Structure 1
C-alpha cells in the first residue's frame, strides 16, 4: 500500500506542491483585462507578450504581475533563469499579501532555494498563505504538521488543514485524506471515508488515487481496469503491478511474460526498484525476453543503486559464482554485506558462509555464527543447518552435539534434506527432536 509520505522522498514532496501551486494559481488572480490577456499569452507560451504586459503592472505594485515575473525568472520563461531574482519578486508580491507568492516563498525557505534554509520563515509565509484559504499552502502545512517535519507534530491541526484544502478540490489533499483514513493514521480507520476522498481525487485524474482504488476494489482483489488506467497514464507503481500480474497470471489476467516485461520496463525506466529487479530476473531466466546476463546485471545494478536488498544479494551471487562476470569474491562479499545489513536473510546466510570459509574475507567463525543466527531468526533453514555444523565440529564455539541436534532439528522441520539426512533419512523427527533422551548425531 502506498504511504502518503511518498511525497517527502527525494524532494518529491516539494515538487508536487509546486505543481499544485501552478495548477491552482489562477484562483487568486486579479480579474482585469490586461491581466487576463497576459495570462492567455503565458498559457500559450508567448512569454514575450506576457512579460510586456506584466512588467508595467508589476512596477505599479500589482502583486499578481510581480508573482508572475517571479515565476518566469524561476522557470526561465522568456527570461534568463535567475532564482534570486525570482525570490525577490515573490517577496514583493508576498508582502502585498498575495497568497500564491507567500506559498512559493515559504517553500523556497523550506528547501533553501535562492536563500538559506529557514524553517521559521518558511512556516511564517506558509501560515500567511493558508490563512487566506490558499489550498496548496493548507496541503503543505497539513503534511508537515502531520509528520512533524521542521515543526512539532499536530495531528488534529494537520487534519483541519488537509480537510480545508480537500474541500476546495485540492486533489493531493483529497488523496492524502483518503490514505489517512485507509491506514488509520492518527484517526480511526474508516474505509467509507477513505473511498470517498480517493474517489474525489481520482475524478481529478490523480494517478495514485486511481491506483489505490484499484487495490481496494472487490474485497481486496485488485481491479485490473483501474490499475491499467493508472499504468497507461504513466504511474510507475501501477505499471509494476500490471507487469507483476501478467508475470504471475493473477487479477484475472492470463500469464504472459512478454507483457510482463513490457510493463515492468516502463516502471523500471522511471526508477521503480522492484520493477528493475524483476526485469533483471526476466532477463536472467529468459522469460518474455531473450536471455541476457548482461541485461540482468544492468537492471540488478540499477535496483541496487535504489537500495533494494534483493538486488544487492543477486549481484553478490553473480560475482561469487561468475555469472556474466569474472568471479570476484571480494565484490560478492561487499554486495552480500550491503544486503545482509538491510535484513535480507539469504544475504545473511551467504555472508555467514563467506566468513565460515574465509572467502572474500578473513575466516572468522564468530562472525559466521553472528550472520547465521540473524538468518536463522528469519527461518532460513540452511543457516540453521550451518549453525548445527559449527556446534557439531566446535568451530568458533565449544563442541556441543545436543545444541547441534537442536539446530539440525529446526532445519529438518523446515524440510531441509541435508538436515534430515544428518538426523537419519527414516528418522521420526517428532521422536528424535522432541525427545531429550534420544542420541545426538555424531560426525
Structure 2
C-alpha cells in the first residue's frame, strides 16, 4: 500500500515551514533553503511547476530535492507515476542520510515499490531513520518487532523503540507504550501506567487515545468519572474523524450532559455540526445524517426543516431545490409551521423562474 499523495505532499511541505526539523538533520538546512521556490509553487497548488523546479536541484545532488522528486514519481505528483524512478531518487536521498527518505525507502522495500520486497532492507532503513528520531520510522519498527513482521517477534526490541518515541513526545509511541502496559507486552501489566500514557498520547493529538481517555472518564475506569471532561476528549477525537468518539459524544449530548439545558436532541446536535460551535468543527455531512435520522425515525418537523435547508444550500448533500421544497413541506406537515414561509418562498421563486 502506497503512502498516498496527500501524505507525501505534506512530508515535502514540512520544509517550506522551517528549514529543518527534528527528523531532518541540520546538515540539510542548506538543501531545504535552496528548495524555497519549489515549495512556494507546491503551496500554491502548482505541483507540476514545483516538480520541475526540484528536478535540476535533485540532479545536482540536493537531498531534499531528491526526496521530493522521488515522492513526485511515487505518487504521480507533477509527473507521470514511475516506481523505478521513484526508487532511484529516494535511494539517492536516503544514502545521503536524509531521514524522511530513509523512511520512505523502507516503505518501498516493504511494499515492493520499484524494488523487490526485502525485509532486511526494510529494517535497515527504518533503523537508520529511527536513529535520527524519525517518528514514522520509530512507529514502524515498534510494529515490526511487536508483531513479528519479517522478523522474530521481539517485545523487548519493540519496547526499546516505543520508549524512545515516548521520550520524544511522539503520540504514536505513547499510545503503543500504553497498549504495552495494558496488555503486558514486554512490561508488567498496569492499567494505571497504561492510562498515563494514553493521556499523554491524547494530549499530543492521537484521536484513538482521546477516545480511550474519554471512555475512561465516562466509566470511571482508573480515572475519576467525569462526563463533562469526557466530552472534551470526544470532541477533539471527533474533529479528527474518529467515528467511535462521535457515537459516545452523541450519547452524552443527547442526555444534555455538557450542553446548555434544552440543547439536547438530534436536531440540535445536527446544528452543532452544521454551524461548527461548542468546540465542534463544522461537518455538514454528519449534520445532514443527524437531521435525516431524526426526521425519519421521529417524524420531527424541525429536522425536516433542517433537511430542507441542507438540500437547498448543498450542505452535507447535493444541492437540490426540488428536494428542499419537499422537505420544507414535510416540516409543515409534521407541525413545524415556520417552514411554511420557506415553502411559499420557493413556490414564488419557481413561478418567477419557471423552474419546477
Q: TM-score, normalised by structure 2?
A: 0.66
Could you tell me how far 1:264 is from its partner in structure 2?
0.3
Note the 1:248-327 alignment, pairs <5 A. Answer: 248-250=219-221, 252-289=222-259, 291-297=264-270, 319-322=296-299, 325=303
Aligned to 1:68: 36
Q: Deviations over 1:253-291 (max 9, x none)?
A: 122211111110111112222212221222234344452
Instruction: Name the Cα RMSD after superposition.
Output: 3.6
Could you tell me how far 1:180 is from its partner in structure 2?
1.7
CA contact 2:269–2:290 (8 Å) conserved in 1: no
Count of residues paired in the alignment? 282
User: How has the CA–CA distance of structure 1 residues 227 and 304 changed in structure 2, closer, same or farther, with 3 Å as cutoff?
Assistant: farther
Which structure 1 segments of 5+ residues have no match? 36-62, 307-311, 327-443
Q: Deviations over 1:363-401 (max 9, x none)?
A: xxxxxxxxxxxxxxxxxxxxxxxxxxxxxxxxxxxxxxx
Aligned to 1:58: none
CA contact 1:178–1:197 (8 Å) conserved in 2: yes
CA distance in 2, matches of 1:304, 1:159: 43
User: How has the CA–CA distance of structure 1 residues 8 and 304 changed in structure 2, closer, same or farther, with 3 Å as cutoff?
Assistant: farther
User: Does the residue aligned with 1:114 lie in a helix, a strand or coil?
Assistant: coil
CA distance in 2, matches of 1:18, 1:257: 39
**Greater Rg by CA:** 1
Could you tell me how far 1:231 is from its partner in structure 2?
1.9
Aligned to 2:215: 244
CA contact 2:291–2:303 (8 Å) conserved in 1: no
Aligned to 2:311: none
Q: TM-score, normalised by structure 1?
A: 0.55
CA distance in 2, matches of 1:120, 1:82: 24
User: How has the CA–CA distance of structure 1 residues 17 and 82 changed in structure 2, closer, same or farther, with 3 Å as cutoff?
Assistant: closer
User: How has the CA–CA distance of structure 1 residues 259 and 296 changed in structure 2, closer, same or farther, with 3 Å as cutoff?
Assistant: same
Aligned to 2:150: 186
Which structure 2 segments of 5+ residues have no match? 182-187, 275-281, 305-356
User: Does the residue aligned with 1:219 lie in a helix, a strand or coil?
Assistant: coil
Note the 1:321-336 alignment, pairs <5 A. Answer: 321-322=298-299, 325=303
User: Does the residue aligned with 1:212 lie in a helix, a strand or coil?
Assistant: helix
Which of 85, 88, 98 lines up with 1:124 in the alignment?
Answer: 88
CA contact 2:217–2:225 (8 Å) conserved in 1: yes
2:199 matched to 1:228?
Answer: yes
Could you tell me how far 1:305 is from its partner in structure 2?
6.0
